[in-house]
Amino acid sequence: MSTAHWSTQDTPIGPFTAVVAPDGAVLASGWTADVDALLPQVSPALRPSGLRERRDLGAVSTAVRRYHAGELDAADLVPVRQRSGEFLQHAWDVLRTVPAGKPVTYSDFAALAGRPSAVRAAASACARNAAALFVPCHRVLRIGGALGGFRWGVDVKRWLLDHETGVGA
Helix (H, G, I), strand (E, B) or coil at 75: coil
Question: What is the predicted pLDDT for the residue at 27?
Answer: 98
Q: Which of 137, 156, 160, 161 is the catalytic position? A: 137
Question: What is the predicted pLDDT for the residue at 112?
Answer: 96
Q: pTM score, two decimals?
A: 0.94
Among 2, 8, 38, 36, residue whose Cα is nearest residue 22:
2
Question: What is the predicted pLDDT for the residue at 149?
Answer: 87
How many angstroms separate the CA atoms of 105 and 142, rounded?
Answer: 5
Question: What is the predicted pLDDT for the residue at 166?
Answer: 85
Q: What is the DSSP letter of 29?
A: E
The whole-number mean pLDDT for each consecutive block of 10 residues of the chain, a chain of 169 residues, reads 92 97 97 96 93 96 97 96 93 96 96 94 94 97 89 96 83
Any idea which architecture 86-165 has in CATH?
Answer: Orthogonal Bundle (1.10)
Active site residue 137: yes
Q: Domain spans of the chain?
A: 3-69, 86-165
